[in-house]
Structure 1
Amino acid sequence: MSSHALSLPRLKIPRFRQPLPGFGLSLGLGLAWLSVVVLLPLAALAIRAAGLGLDGWLRAIQDPRVQASLKLSFGAAFVAAVAASFAGALVAWVIVRYRFPGRRLLDALVDLPFALPTAVAGISLTAIYSANGWVGRWLEPLGVKIAYTPIGIVIALVFIGLPFAVRTVQPVLEALGHEQEEAAASLGASRVTTLRRVVLPELLPALLTGFSLAFARALGEYGSVIFIAGNLPYKTEIAPLLITIRLEEYDYPGAVAIAALLLAASFVCLLAINAIPSLFAHEKRSRRRE
C-alpha cells in the first residue's frame, strides 16, 4: 500500500479570533479614551499653572493660609499612610495566614471604603468621634478631642487608605507561603529574626507601594475629611477644601497653584510606585550574581 493511501486528511484548524479589533484600532481607541478622561484635564491644569509664571505661582503658594493648609494636608497624609501601611500589613497577614469564621466577610469589608461614598464615611466618623458620639463622649472627659482636630483628619485618611495597603501586601503574602518561614525556624531562628530577615525583605516593596498609594490618595481626599475636620482656617483646613474656597472667591490663579502642587506630588508618588518594583528586582539580580 502506498504512503499516499495511508496519509490522513488535512484538518483545517479554525483561526483564533481576538474578541477586540486589531492592535492599531484597539491602541487608538484606548489612547483616545485615556486622553479625553485623563490627559486633557491634566494638560489643561498644567498649561494654566505654567501661565501663572514663577512669580504668580510663588505669590499664591506663599500665602500663610495656603501654607498652613498644605502643611496639614502633607503632614496628615504622611502620618495616615504610615499608619495604614502597618495596619494594612497586619490585616493582610490575618486574612492570608489564618482560617477563622468570618474570614471572607473581613476580606470583603477591606474594600468597603472603595464602595462607600466619602461623604457618608465623613459623616459616620464625625458621629462616632464627636463630643456626643459613641467614642467621643468617653474621650472628651479625658481631655482627648478627635473630631474637628488634626487627629480626626488622620483617622479619616487612614480609613480611606487602608484598602490600598492591604491589597498590595495580600498577594505577596499569598505567594510567599510558609516554606521559607519553616526553613528559618528549623535552623533555629526566632520569630523576630524570621520576621526581620525572611518576611520583611519580601514584603518591603509591597509595603512601600501601599504607602505611596495611600499617601497619594490621602493627599487629595476631600469628602471624608471636611465633615470631621471642622475646616478652621490655619488649623484644620485641608488643601483640597482651600481649592474650592479659592474658586468660590474667583481666585482662579490661587486655586490653580494649589491644584498644580498637589498634582505634582501625586505624579511623584506615581513615579515611585512604578520605580519601586524595578529597583528591588535589580537588587535581587545583583545579589544572585554575587
Structure 2
Amino acid sequence: MSTVATRLVQRMRHPLPGFGLSLGLGMAWLGLIVLLPLAALVVRSAGLGSEGWMRVLEDPRVRASLVLSFSASAVAAVIASLAGALVAWVIVRYRFPGRRLMDALVDLPFALPTAVAGIALTAIYSANGWVGRFVEPHGWKIAYAPAGIVIALVFIGLPFAVRTLQPVLETLGRDQEEAAASLGASRFTTFRRVVLPELAPALLTGFSLAFARALGEYGSVIFIAGNLPFKTEIAPLLITIRLEEYDYDGAVAIAALLLAASFVCLIAINTLIPALFARKRDV
C-alpha cells in the first residue's frame, strides 16, 4: 500500500482532527482539577496509619455523624428514586397544561444555591413555618431533626432520579405494553413483567447518583438539621468543625471515608449497571 493510501486510511479512521491534542488537554485538565486533589487526599489519609484511623473511628461523635449521613442518604435516595420515577412517568406519558413548567422545575435544585434551599426548607418546616406549625403540635418534628435532613437530601437528589429515568421512558414507547395488554395481562402484570425490567438499570443508576450526591451535601442540610452533636450533626459538617479545631487528621479521615463511599457508587454505576443492560439484552 502506498504512503498516500496509508494516510488516507488513517484520515478515514479519525475523521475529527486533533484527537491526540484534545485527549492530552482533556486528561491534563481532568488530572489538575479532579485527580490531583483526590490523590492528595488519598495520600494524606494513607499516612495516618492504623493508630490515626482508630483514633478517629473510635470517636463516638464521628461514628454518630457517619451513621446519620449514611442512613439519611440511603433513605433519601430511595425516596428520591421512587418519587423521581413517578415524576418522570407523568412528564413523559401524559400531556397536560403546565407540563413544560413541571419539566423545568425538576432542574431547579441544580440551579438553586444549596444555602438558599436550606433556608427555604427551614422556613417551611420549622415550628412557626407554613408546614411546621401544623405538624409539630402533633409531635411530628421535621426541622432540627433527622426527618428534615432526609427532606433536604430528597430535594437535591430528585433531579438525578428524574433525569436518569426520563430518556429511558421516552425510548421505551408503548408497543410492548399494548402487546401485553392484548395478550390479557393486567396493568400490574404489565408493569412488573414489561416496564419494570426496562427501568431497573436506570432506577439503580438514579439511586446511586442521588446517594452519592446526598452523602456529601452540606449547604442545604446545615440550616434545617440544627447541627446537634450525636443527633443531627452530619459528617460534612463535622469535617468543617475538625478543620476549625486544627484536627486535620480527623478531617482527612472523615473525608476519605466519604470519598470511598462515593467512589463505590461510581464503580457500581460504571460496572454493575452496564452488566444489567447486557443481561437484559441477552434475555
Q: Normalised by the size of structure 1, how large is the TM-score?
A: 0.91
Structure 1: distance between partners of 2:16 and 2:31:
20
Change (3 A) 1:279 1:140: same
Deviation at 1:21, TM superposition (A): 5.5
Task: Give the C-alpha shift of residue 244 in structure 1.
Answer: 0.1
Question: SS state of the match for residue 88, structure 2?
Answer: helix
Answer with 242-251 or 138-147: which moved more: 138-147
- Out of 194, 200, 219, the residue aligned to residue 196 of structure 2 is 200
SS class of match (2:272): helix
Q: Given residue 101 of structure 1, which amino acid in structure 2 is its aligned partner?
A: P
Runs of 4+ in 1 over 6 A off after TM superposition: none
Contact 1:72 1:237 in 2 (8 A): yes
* Residue range with higher mean Cα deviation, 18-27 or 167-176: 18-27
- Is 1:151 matched up with 2:147? yes
| 8 Å Cα contact 1:209/1:276 also seen in 2 | no
Matched-pair contact (CA < 8 Å) for 2:204–2:273: no
1:153 deviates by 0.1
* Residue 116 of structure 1 pairs with residue 120 of structure 2: no
Q: Which runs of 5+ in 2 are unaligned?
A: 1-10
1:93 and 2:89 correspond = yes
- Residues 116-152 of structure 1: per-residue CA shift (max 9 Å, x gap): 0000000000000000000000001111110000000
Contact 1:88/1:165 (8 A) holds in 2? yes
- In the TM superposition, 1:204-223 aligns within 5 A as 204-223=200-219
Q: What is the distance in 2 between the residues matched to 1:187 and 1:225? A: 49
The amino acid of 2:84's aligned partner reads: G
Larger CA deviation: 138-147 vs 64-73: 138-147
Q: 1:275 is matched with which residue?
A: 271
Find the partner of 2:220 among 217, 224, 227: 224
SS of residue matched to 1:146: coil
Could you tell me how far 1:55 is from its partner in structure 2? 2.0
Question: Matched residue of 2:141: which SS?
Answer: coil
Counterpart CA distance in 2 for 1:19 and 1:190 is: 51
Contact map agreement 1:156 1:224 (CA 8 A) in 2 = yes
Tell me if 1:104 matches 2:63: no
Distance in 2 (alpha carbons) for counterparts of 1:55 and 1:84: 38
Partner of 2:6: none
Question: Once the two structures are superposed, what CA deviation does each residue of 1:211-246 show, in whole Å capped at 9, x if it has no partner?
Answer: 000000000000000000000000000000000000
The number of equivalent residue pairs is: 272
Structure 2 counterpart of 1:55, one-letter code: E
Alpha-carbon distance between aligned partners in 2 of 1:251 and 1:277, rounded to the nearest angstrom: 39
Query: Which stretches in structure 1 are left out of the alignment for 5+ residues?
Result: 1-14
Spell out, residue by residue over 1:34-68, the C-alpha distance to the aligned partner (whole angstroms, 9 max, x if none).
01110000000000000101221121122100000
Q: Identity, % of aligned pairs?
A: 81
Matched, 1:166 2:166: no
The residue matched to 2:48 in structure 1 has which SS? Answer: helix
1:251 aligned onto 2:217: no
Bigger radius of gyration? 1
Matched, 1:129 2:149: no
What CA distance in whole angstroms lies between the structure 2 residues aligned with 1:58 and 1:206? Answer: 38
Q: Who is 1:81 aligned against?
A: 77
The Cα shift of 1:32 comes to 0.8
1:112 counterpart letter in structure 2: L
- Asked if structure 2 preserves the Cα contact closer than 8 Å seen for 1:20 and 1:26, the reply is no
SS in 1 for 2:47: helix
Matched, 1:139 2:139: no
When normalised by structure 2's length, the TM-score is 0.94
2:8: which partner in 1? none
The AA in structure 2 aligned to 1:144 is W
